[in-house]
Amino acid sequence: MKQTGRVWNCVRDYFVMILGACIYALSVDFFTAPNNIAPGGATGLATMLNHLFFTPIGATALMLNIPLFIWGAFESGRRFIFRTIIATGAVSLLIDILAIWDVSYHGDLIIASVFGGILSGAGLGLIFLRGGSTGGTDIIARNLNRRFPYISIGSIVLTTDAVVVALSAIVYGNIENALYAVIAIFTSSKLIDAVVFGFSRDNGKLMIIITSVPEDVTAVLTTKINRGVTVLSAQGGYSHTPRGVILCAVRPHDAYRVKSAVLGEDEHSFIITTTATAISGLGFSAKT
């Protein structure tokens, strides 16, 4: 049963990541690339190389990501980098496949940049939500966010993509294309934060976990999920059997990981997840 639960969780996670990859690929093929808008990161660089040398965007982005895969493997572990390779491979493949049909929007560049950013942010948010990345500045943002959790992933992506935007003005010989790229990247960053964190930067989830093996559950949460917990001693009101009550405050995008890890250790655990409208402390807002 425990192994079946883990397999189901992995299947669900990869399905969500593939869905996110599809949405992101749509943003590139339908809106940004056809209008010479470089959406930042490796995909933005690949878009510019496609403009200059007609190289396939997806395959080029995959090649540019190889050095970042190596960094991500050391910084974030094998589980993260494996999911990143899967997501990046799916994005690269889907971008090149969808490009065959040449169904793209050519019109108002404001519309192209805004809707390109919306689809990009929604797709990346779903991928981040399930512990993956599409490489490029996503790996940079994820790794830096692990070290500096008070800085949002979207803000890091927005900052690192500024270099790509500046380069796009040179490649396309038009500053307007760079300005439209700023609109797309800004919109994308806001959608990423909305999908991953919710609309409030201070909100989160409070998870109350009642288990008969608190030591095992605590160990997996602190070592594999990297979340702090508080353990209380309790007993069942009817059975009078000793139980452990674990309190764990997490960001919304970490709630599914905590639940999966807990059920992997104790499939009979009782988990209560509630929304906390404001959390202050390490890893959350410093405000009181």
Same domain, 231 and 184: no
Same domain, 99 and 211: no
The reported pLDDT for the residue numbered 181 is 94
Number of domains forming the structure of the chain: 2
The reported pLDDT for the residue numbered 210 is 95
Domain hosting 235: range is 204-276
Instruction: Read off the CATH number of the domain in which 269 is found.
Output: 3.30.70.120
* Residue 213 domain-assigned (yes or no): yes
* Residue 184 domain-assigned (yes or no): yes
The reported pLDDT for the residue numbered 168 is 95
* Residue 269 domain-assigned (yes or no): yes
d(CA 251, CA 66): 29
- Per-residue HEC secondary structure of 12-55 comes to HHHHHHHHHHHHHHHHHHHHHHHHCCCCCHHHHHHHHHHHHHCC
CB 101 within 8 A of CB 51: no
Q: Which of 142, 176, 197 is the last residue of a domain?
A: 197
Q: Which of 180, 197, 214 is the last residue of a domain?
A: 197
Complete DSSP assignment for the chain: -HHHHHHHHHHHHHHHHHHHHHHHHHIIIIIIGGGT---SHHHHHHHHHHHHH---HHHHHHHHHHHHHHHHHHHHHHHHHHHHHHHHHHHHHHHHHHHHHT----S-HHHHHHHHHHHHHHHHHHHHHTT---STHHHHHHHHHHH-TTS-HHHHHHHHHHHHHHHHHHHHT-HHHHHHHHHHHHHHHHHHHHHHH-S-TT-EEEEEEEES-HHHHHHHHHHTS----EEEEEE-TTT--EEEEEEEEE-HHHHHHHHHHHHHH-TT-EEEEEEES--BSTTSB---
Same domain, 175 and 222: no
Angle CA 203–205–210, to nearest 5: 160
* Residue 10 domain-assigned (yes or no): yes
Q: How far is CA 72 from the centre of its chain?
A: 14
Same domain, 33 and 160: yes
d(CA 120, CA 41): 12
CB 98 within 8 A of CB 29: yes
Same domain, 147 and 178: yes
Same domain, 89 and 18: yes
Exposure on the CB side of residue 271, measured as CA atoms within 13 A: 22
Same domain, 83 and 151: yes
Same domain, 44 and 166: yes
* Residue 88 domain-assigned (yes or no): yes
The total of other beta-carbon atoms located within 10 Å of residue 239's CB is 8
The reported pLDDT for the residue numbered 101 is 87
The reported pLDDT for the residue numbered 5 is 60
The reported pLDDT for the residue numbered 145 is 73
Q: Which of 197, 212, 229 is the last residue of a domain?
A: 197
* Residue 285 domain-assigned (yes or no): no
Same domain, 154 and 192: yes
Same domain, 193 and 217: no
The reported pLDDT for the residue numbered 227 is 83
* Residue 284 domain-assigned (yes or no): no
The reported pLDDT for the residue numbered 288 is 39
* Residue 281 domain-assigned (yes or no): no
Tell me the pLDDT tens digit for each residue of 221-259: 988 777 889 999 998 888 889 999 999 998 776 787 788
Same domain, 106 and 231: no
Same domain, 191 and 89: yes
pTM for the complete prediction?
A: 0.73
Q: Tell me, what DSSP letter sits at residue 277?
A: S
Using DSSP, state whether 269 is helix, strand or coil.
coil
**Positions in the chain short of pLDDT 50:** 288
Short-list 222, 243, 223, 221, CA closest to 232? 243
